[in-house]
Each structure stands twice: as C-alpha cells, then as structure tokens.
Amino acid sequence: MTHPAPAWLPRLMDGARAGGSFFNSFGEPDGRRSAVLMLFGPAAGGGEDVLLTQRSEVMRKHPGQVSFPGGGIDPDDADASAAALREAHEEVDLDARGVEVIGELQAVPLSVTGYHVTPVVAWWQQPGQVHAKSLHEVDRVARVRLADLADPQHRFTAVHPSRRFAAPAFEVDGLYVWGFTAILLDAVLRLSGFEQPWATGDERPVPPRFLQR
C-alpha cells in the first residue's frame, strides 16, 4: 500500500532551507563528505515515525550509539541521496524502491570526525521490512514515533563533561539518543511543528559507556 507524504514534510523542507535555520548556519562543505538518510514513514497506529539504528558495539568509532543509516559518499555514488540509500541498503536491507527522496539539506560539519554530513530527507511510500543486515555495523534497527520523540518526558539536555558539550537528547524505546543524531532530530521536531515545550534545564551527564571509547 502506498502512503502519501504528510503535509508537514514540505514545511520541514521549507523551514530547513530558509535563511537563518539550523541547516543553513554553516558554510559550504569542505573536506570529507558523507550522508545520512532521515527516513520518515507511517507509524503503526497512526502518525509518523523515523528510522534509526543502534551502532554495533564492535565498531571502532561511536560503538553502541544511535544514528541514522548512512556513511561516506563514494566516488561511484551519483550524489548524497544515492550514497544514503546505498548505505541504508547495506546496513538495514532497505528496499529503495519504496522510498521517495524529498530532498537534500545543507551539509552539516561534524567536528568529531571531520566529515560534512548531508541529511537526505525521504518518505517511505511503501514501508518494507528492515533488519540489522550488517551485523558488524548495526545491532538494532528501530522505527521511533515522532510523537514519542516530541513527548517532553522523553527529552532532556545531555552534558558531555570533557568537551563542555550540552545539547538536546532523548530516551525513547530503550534508545539513548544524543550528539549529532539528537541535534538533527531536535531541528526536525522544531521545523515540522511537532515540538512541545520541554525542560531544557533538565541536564544529565552522558552515560560513561559513551565516553570511554
């Protein structure tokens, strides 16, 4: 069954591309390029969800952390969208034939890795089965409801002690979402109109398991 894209997706794209938005607060990308797939789809029981992965504990970089499917843009990739879809197929066995790419957003620099990451916004017209196809990269695949991410009970500010890093974070469906992924999700909720008032002053240290490696 084909599901039409919801009305808030164009609003998200317009807001993200507007002057002064989070996604337009950076200069032109310089250096290594990568892409992530921000895949939204119809959630069971109504509303929409987003596809997230939990990285494998054996990964050399950021083990166990929650992220969007994605990775480096290869020379053979036509563009960032092609790279994001390829990576999603390799990581979670996503069938791109059921996916409508809405557009690419301005690349965001990721200071920890040095990559400039292009978020690729897509809609799951025909949702299919996904799973942790690449077991050395992915431990878990989850479709998380946007309404649950927007729930103030699931939101707080994560504080990284050594880097003096403080940014929005989420705990939902057994996932601890912080860092770059949480920052992107925070921007999505705000620009799409899903955001609810939440306690930004609720500051919690990042769990030690994410700081040791």
Distance CA 53, CA 143 (A): 9
Burial of 17 (0-12, 13-18, 19+ CB in 10 A): middle
- Of the candidate CATH numbers 3.30.1360.120, 3.30.420.40, 3.90.79.10, 1.10.600.10, the domain formed by 8-210 belongs to 3.90.79.10
Q: Rounded to whole angstroms, how far apart are CA atoms 125 and 48?
A: 12
Cα 203 to Cα 155, 157, 200: the distances in Å are 10, 5, 7
Q: Domain map of the chain by residue range?
A: 8-210
Q: Are strands 115-124 and 33-42 parallel, antiparallel or unpaired?
A: parallel
Query: How many other CB atoms are there within 10 angstroms of residue 78's CB atom?
Result: 9
- Entry pTM: 0.94
Q: How far is it, in rounded angstroms, from Cα 37 to Cα 83? A: 9
In this predicted structure, what is the pLDDT of residue 163?
Answer: 65
Tokens 């939101």 found at: 155
DSSP 182: H
Q: Could you read off the pLDDT tens digit of each residue along the chain, which spans 213 residues?
A: 789 999 999 999 999 999 888 888 887 777 789 999 999 999 988 999 999 999 876 656 666 789 999 999 999 999 999 999 999 999 999 999 999 999 999 999 887 777 899 999 999 999 999 999 977 788 899 999 999 999 999 999 999 887 678 899 999 999 999 999 999 999 999 999 999 999 999 999 998 887 755
Of 188, 127, 146, 144, give the one whose Cα is nearest residue 3: 127
